[in-house]
Amino acid sequence: MTRLQIVTITETDDVRLADYVRLRDVNLRRHLEAERGLFIAEGEKVIRRALDAGYQPRSFLLAERWLESLADRLDDHQTTPIYLVTEKLAEEITGFHVHRGALAAMHRQDPYTTADLLGWDRLVILEDIVDHTNVGAILRNAAGLGWQGALLSPRSADPLYRRAIKVSMGSVFSLPWARLDDWGSAIPLLNDHGFTTVALALTDDALNLDQVRERLAAHGTGKIAVMLGTEGAGLSEQWIAQASLVARIPMQAGIDSLNVAAASAIACYALNQPPTR
């Protein structure tokens, strides 16, 4: 442990902690993290998963007791500063009670491009999902149910935002994802690459999700891209019109539509397996 770059911090305005300020301020953080090319990993498990996925740390912000439990990983990054703080100080800097007292600032990287993902068989496509919780939950569901990747429209929320990472249980690191360069050409691009693009929408002429499953199975298990629309308004008319199929989850009359994350769970379950006989 002796060669680690441990720096004990005692002042909340220490400039070395600038990556960690006011983590609850979404607007500030969105700006700051994009500008500096960083994101924040929170909690031991998430830090480990980010490192496993190849993300490089800029620094760690730890309460002392984490030095030991993260020792194996800290040893791998001996040139990375470790800012040692009390939990109280961490709370004053970040603005909230730090989940289990361990944070890391990581360098952003874009490990995948849209072109990488177009070669695969099972993708989830997010159109303007603006809520970090929903983005995280959808990526977790997709990863857990065996889908291979996710493409996000330009206006969708950042999967590397702290809240999205946390809700995803770190799936944002293990599930390949990329941001689409262009909203307008996204669905034609998928169609051209052999995907059956399935729009989830409550339109009158939508097929029941089970029918879609049957139809896909009848034509062999080809490439499938499930399209999920923005909270509230759902998928745009343009994306619905461009989709190969429109599917609806059978809903109880008089109830609001399901939350988009719940809908993603159902669609990823229903469309990623052969029909039951």
List of residues contacting a copy of itself (CB under 8 A):
137, 140-141, 143-146, 169, 171, 174, 209-211, 213-214, 249-252, 254-259, 261-263, 265-266, 269-270, 273, 275-277
Write down the least CB distance from residue 133 to a copy of itself, Å: 9
Write down the least CB distance from residue 238 to a copy of itself, Å: 26
Q: Which is nearer to a copy of itself, 15 or 253 (CB)?
A: 253
Report the distance separating Cα 213 and Cα 197, nearest Å.
12
Report the distance separating Cα 70 and Cα 142, nearest Å.
29
3-class state of residue 206 by DSSP = coil
Q: Which is nearer to a copy of itself, 180 or 268 (CB)?
A: 268
Report the distance separating Cα 38 and Cα 106, nearest Å.
5
Q: Which is nearer to a copy of itself, 54 or 254 (CB)?
A: 254
Contacts 24+ apart (CB under 8 A), 72-81: 73/47, 73/48, 74/1, 74/4, 75/1, 75/4, 76/51, 78/3, 78/4, 78/5, 79/5, 80/5, 81/5, 81/7, 81/16
Q: Which is nearer to a copy of itself, 3 or 277 (CB)?
A: 277
Write down the least CB distance from residue 151 to a copy of itself, Å: 19
Write down the least CB distance from residue 218 to a copy of itself, Å: 11
CB atoms within 10 A of CB 155: 14
Packed helices 132-144 and 260-271: angle between N→C axes, nearest 10 degrees: 20
Q: What are phi and psi of 137, to 5 degrees?
A: -65, -40
Contact status, residue 55 vs residue 76, Cβ threshold 8 Å: no
Q: Which is nearer to a copy of itself, 26 or 258 (CB)?
A: 258
Q: What is the dihedral of CA 53, 155, 35, 116, to 10 degrees?
A: 40
Write down the least CB distance from residue 109 to a copy of itself, Å: 22
Write down the least CB distance from residue 70 to a copy of itself, Å: 20
Q: Which is nearer to a copy of itself, 142 or 152 (CB)?
A: 142
Q: Which is nearer to a copy of itself, 94 or 168 (CB)?
A: 168
In Å, what is the CA distance from 29 to each residue of 34, 133, 162? Answer: 8, 16, 9
Q: Which is nearer to a copy of itself, 220 or 254 (CB)?
A: 254
Residues 6+ apart with CB under 8 A from 175: 139, 142, 143, 147, 148, 149, 150
Write down the least CB distance from residue 239 to a copy of itself, Å: 22
Contact status, residue 60 vs residue 82, Cβ threshold 8 Å: yes
Write down the least CB distance from residue 17 to a copy of itself, Å: 26
